[in-house]
Amino acid sequence: MSLRLPVRARLPEPEAAPAWGYAQLAGRLAELSAAADSAVLTLAFSLALDAQRDAEPVAWITSPKGAFFPPDAAQAGIDLGAFVVVRVPDLLGMARAADQLVRSGGFGLVILDLISLTDVRRPQLSTASQTRLAGLAQKHAAAVLVLTEKSAESPSQGSLVSLRAEARRTQWGPCLVEVRVLKDKRRGPGQIHVEACHAPPGLH
């Protein structure tokens, strides 16, 4: 005589968290990099929109030569009323501005556009600045994102960077952009996130 055991219904597998997004970067110091003519700005604006959907104000720190163009941001869906742009002339000023903005607790996402420092080759935040920003990001559950122009083989800003990703444009018209995670202290590297976008002319 054989016993027939009841068949248990198979529970659905939990969906894996996406590799890229405001929720994944909150509380962390992160870096998004790529070679020239990449999708860095497109993906940074996408992240800003993601933060705003969570009712989080966003700050963008750039140099006077930065490529930020308000109509581009508005066309991407950004609420300019909750989007602060700070223009400072040098790397030290950017680091100080980021420190003050994150320390205030009033911003969910602070972006440092180091790519805009065209007169500095591979600008590098000091270890002291990274330590402060990483600690403040964790304390206030804010995301601090550094934008850099470099190859995937180049080192990140430093060991305090919790997540580093590479941005690539994989297709034009319709536009597809890809984020490939090169370093992630929480989940490990190798994850890929793809987005479809219709970037305005000023977003590259």
Among the residue ranges 31-35, 72-76, 126-130, 153-157, the one predicted with the least confidence is 72-76
- By DSSP bridging, strand 143-149 and strand 29-34 are parallel
Report how far residue 143's alpha carbon sits from residue 52's, in angstroms, rounded to the nearest whole number.
12
8 A C-beta contact, residue 46 and residue 197: yes
Query: DSSP string of 31-88?
Result: EEEESSS-SHHHHHHHHHHHHHHTT--EEEEE-TT----HHHHHHTT--GGGEEEEE-
8 A C-beta contact, residue 115 and residue 79: no
Q: What three-state secondary structure class fits 113?
A: strand
pLDDT at 146: 97
Q: What average pLDDT does the structure give for the chain?
A: 85
pLDDT at 61: 97
Q: Which residue has the higher pLDDT, 168 or 116?
A: 116
pLDDT at 6: 41
Residue 186: both structure tokens together: 């929480």
Is the pLDDT at 97 greater than 70? The verdict is: yes
Among the residue ranges 160-169, 181-190, 195-204, the one predicted with the least confidence is 195-204
pLDDT at 25: 96
Of 3.40.50.880, 3.40.630.10, 3.30.70.20, 3.40.50.300, which CATH number belongs to 22-197? Answer: 3.40.50.300
Report how far residue 149's alpha carbon sits from residue 63's, in angstroms, rounded to the nearest whole number.
15
Is the pLDDT at 8 greater than 60? The verdict is: no
pLDDT at 9: 43
Report how far residue 8's alpha carbon sits from residue 130's, in angstroms, rounded to the nearest whole number.
50
Confidence grade of residue 120 (pLDDT, cut at 50, 70, 90): confident
Report how far residue 86's alpha carbon sits from residue 78's, in angstroms, rounded to the nearest whole number.
16
For 112, phi and psi rounded to 5 degrees? -105, 110
pTM assigned to the model: 0.85
pLDDT tens, residue by residue, 42-90: 889 989 999 999 999 999 999 998 867 788 788 878 999 889 999 999 9
Report how far residue 88's alpha carbon sits from residue 111's, in angstroms, rounded to the nearest whole number.
13
Confidence grade of residue 122 (pLDDT, cut at 50, 70, 90): confident
